[in-house]
Amino acid sequence: MLLSFAACLYFPWWSIAIVAFIVAALIPQGAGKSFFTGFLALFLLWGGLSFWISNNNDHILAHKVSLLILKIDSPYLLMLATALIGGVVAGFAAMTGSFLRKKKVTSPSY
């Protein structure tokens, strides 16, 4: 999570995928678990960051942008969308990373 935050200070937003990919490749975990941890990490990071920013802004921007993008005036829905996007991208990247290792670690599902 911290790595993703640091990476985004210097690199494009999709560096979260690379970070999740590398982390998942290094830490032995099953594919499903990798997805879940990647998803959770970025869901919390992006959700938390957007909440913190928006809260400091009295949600002025979130009201407008949610209306613009989601067609609903709901700052929290915009934060949820943000968190989901971060989570899903990181989750898939982490899952991809987990396949880089030689074999399954645990695999009741496979």
Q: Write out the residues near other proteins by the rule CB under 8 A.
A: 5, 8-9, 12-14, 17, 21, 31, 46, 49-50, 53-54, 56-58, 60-62, 64-65, 67-69, 78, 81-82, 85-86, 88-89, 92-93, 95-96, 99-104
Quote the CA–CA distance of 21 and 102 in Å, as a whole number: 15
Quote the CA–CA distance of 37 and 34 in Å, as a whole number: 5
70 token code pair = 């989601």
Least distance to other proteins, CB of residue 68, Å: 4
Least distance to other proteins, CB of residue 20, Å: 9
Closer to other proteins at the Cβ: 29 or 54?
54
Return the half-sphere exposure (C-beta side, CA atoms, 13 A cut-off) of residue 31: 11
Is the four-CA dihedral 37, 38, 39, 45 of positive or negative sign?
positive
The residue type of 108 is P
Closer to other proteins at the Cβ: 29 or 96?
96
Least distance to other proteins, CB of residue 75, Å: 10
